[in-house]
Amino acid sequence: MTANEIRLSFLSYFERNGHRIVASSPLVPHDDPTLLFTNAGMNQFKDVFLGKEKRDYTRATTAQKCMRVSGKHNDLDNVGPSFRHHTFFEMLGNFSFGDYFKREAIPFAWKLLTEEWKLQPDRLWATIFNGDAAVPRDDEACDIWRKFLPVERIGELGAADNFWQMGDTGPCGRCSEIYYFRGSEVGCNEEAAGGVCRGSSAAATASSKIWNNVFMEFDRQANGTLNPLPAPSIDTGMGLERVTAVIQGHLSNYDTDLFTPLLRAIGERAGTTHRGTMEPPDVSMRVVADHMRAMTFLIADGVVPSNEMRGHVLRKIMRRAMRHGQRLGVLEPFLHTLVDVIVREFGDAYPELKAGRSAIVQVVRSEEERFDAVLTDGLPKLEDVLDKAAAGNKVVSGDVAFRL
């Protein structure tokens, strides 16, 4: 299956099981000061979980655009040296708002993976919450999993892995994560490629974490107290990039068709090919590919580069992509020429890309030109200041540093 087919198949499976297909919300959260960017499928339903908002459906399914570059969930530093981390990614999810709970959610997940997508059942394993002073062990999830998995393939982990919350406050609960075992011979693929393992130890070794099923029961307050939600609910999140890698039989998300057309286009500009190693050209190609997707989707959702808040994060991502482009030997502005690849690959699933195409190209191009001018103008000034400081008292004044 192509990634586009996997996305559609997830949504239609849950639609057949009574869920409303809801469009992704924008990457800029609506009216939520606790979040810089949308970081999970449940964000747009936060008030529904909290009982503050009612919808005319109690089951939903989405393919949600997410960014994890700030706050509680931040993967920026892993991008490039990792085969599985992204700043922008798509999260597939199914949600129950006081409708079904664990007894339906776990079988829904199991049947999709093993019957619809035909993943080998004996390669799947799951984890449950092992309990702490505030919330007990998840005996119920363990019992349900026992219908599908032998006990040795049900792991028990603490809050860092098996208690999910979108931020410091808000809806949260114990969760159960589903892993796909790739084979003991696989080990950590980053390490095999000459890098270091990234991510949690389990995810970094022979298994890929593919799906998180959150059993929403609490609303965490700023003082840490857990108040009960109006009704137990379900929130799940499955990274499309990871599950596509599993289904397509790749160890790296960057080898899936979510990335290969873009990496090919970057390679054509740079006169190289992505070989999936930890060598500088490949790391830089992954950074450019990841950041290119992030900037295109962010600009389509109305973010523009600036020196504040979201605009600052976008500018940081864009300039990081430009610097890696230069490391690839592409010295002239070229990122704007890659926008069309993303519009072509993702425009059917996210029509805002097609609608915003020319504005996106223009914003990327002018930021590239601006950065070019900053470097052309600023580097000689910096060198001059450093030379003078080296020859004098070895101090650059705060005023000069600020202007630089």
Q: Is 212 in the site for ligand GLY (CB under 6 A)?
A: yes
Q: Is 40 in the site for ligand GLY (CB under 6 A)?
A: yes
Closer residue to ligand GLY (CB): 234 or 292: 234
For residue 216, the minimal CB distance to ligand GLY (Å) is 9
For residue 395, the minimal CB distance to ligand GLY (Å) is 47
- Max distance between CA atoms of the chain, in angstroms, equals 75
Dihedral sign for Cα 198, 200, 201, 202, please: negative
Do the beta carbons of residue 247 and residue 1 sit within 8 Å? yes
Q: Is 42 in the site for ligand GLY (CB under 6 A)?
A: yes
Closer residue to ligand GLY (CB): 46 or 357: 46
**Cα–Cα dist 334/262, whole Å:** 13
**Cα–Cα dist 240/6, whole Å:** 8
DSSP one-letter code for 179: E
Among 80, 170, 195, 237, binds ligand GLY (CB under 6 A): 237
**Cα–Cα dist 254/179, whole Å:** 19
For residue 141, the minimal CB distance to ligand GLY (Å) is 15
Closer residue to ligand GLY (CB): 161 or 290: 161
User: Of 36-44, 109-117, 125-133, 385-393, which segment contacts ligand GLY by CB under 6 A?
Assistant: 36-44
Q: Is 162 in the site for ligand GLY (CB under 6 A)?
A: no
Q: Is 128 in the site for ligand GLY (CB under 6 A)?
A: no
User: Of 40-48, 117-125, 152-160, 226-234, which segment contacts ligand GLY by CB under 6 A?
Assistant: 40-48
For residue 244, the minimal CB distance to ligand GLY (Å) is 17
Q: Write out the binding residues for ligand GLY, residues 217-236 only, by CB under 6 A.
A: 235
DSSP one-letter code for 114: I
For residue 211, the minimal CB distance to ligand GLY (Å) is 8
Total chain residues near ligand GLY (CB under 6 A):
8
Do the beta carbons of residue 292 and residue 342 sit within 8 Å? yes
* Residue appearing with tokens 């390669």: 123
User: Of 37-45, 178-186, 343-351, 394-402, which segment contacts ligand GLY by CB under 6 A?
Assistant: 37-45
Closer residue to ligand GLY (CB): 38 or 205: 38
For residue 175, the minimal CB distance to ligand GLY (Å) is 7
Q: Is 164 in the site for ligand GLY (CB under 6 A)?
A: yes
Closer residue to ligand GLY (CB): 177 or 282: 177
For residue 119, the minimal CB distance to ligand GLY (Å) is 19
Using alpha carbons, select from 247, 244, 123, 114 the residue that is nearest to residue 183. Answer: 123
Closer residue to ligand GLY (CB): 207 or 284: 207
Q: Beta partners for 226?
A: 220
**Cα–Cα dist 162/153, whole Å:** 15
Closer residue to ligand GLY (CB): 43 or 284: 43
Q: What are phi and psi of 403, to 5 degrees?
A: -65, -35
CA atoms within 13 A on the CB side of 262: 29
Please list the helix, strand and coil fractions of the chain in percent, rounded to the nearest 5, in that order: 45, 20, 35
Closer residue to ligand GLY (CB): 38 or 82: 38
Q: Is 178 in the site for ligand GLY (CB under 6 A)?
A: no
Using alpha carbons, select from 246, 249, 252 the residue that is nearest to residue 191. Answer: 252
Residue 117: exposure state from Cβ atoms within 10 A (0-12, 13-18, ≥19): middle
User: Of 39-47, 109-117, 246-254, 264-272, which segment contacts ligand GLY by CB under 6 A?
Assistant: 39-47
CA atoms within 13 A on the CB side of 157: 19
Closer residue to ligand GLY (CB): 217 or 282: 217
Secondary structure (3-state) at 51 = coil
Q: Beta partners for 174?
A: 163, 215
For residue 235, the minimal CB distance to ligand GLY (Å) is 5
**Cα–Cα dist 234/294, whole Å:** 28
Among 106, 214, 292, 317, binds ligand GLY (CB under 6 A): 214
**Cα–Cα dist 316/8, whole Å:** 33
User: Of 38-46, 130-138, 377-385, 396-404, which segment contacts ligand GLY by CB under 6 A?
Assistant: 38-46
DSSP one-letter code for 19: P
Interface residues toward ligand GLY, by CB under 6 A = 40-42, 164, 212, 214, 235, 237
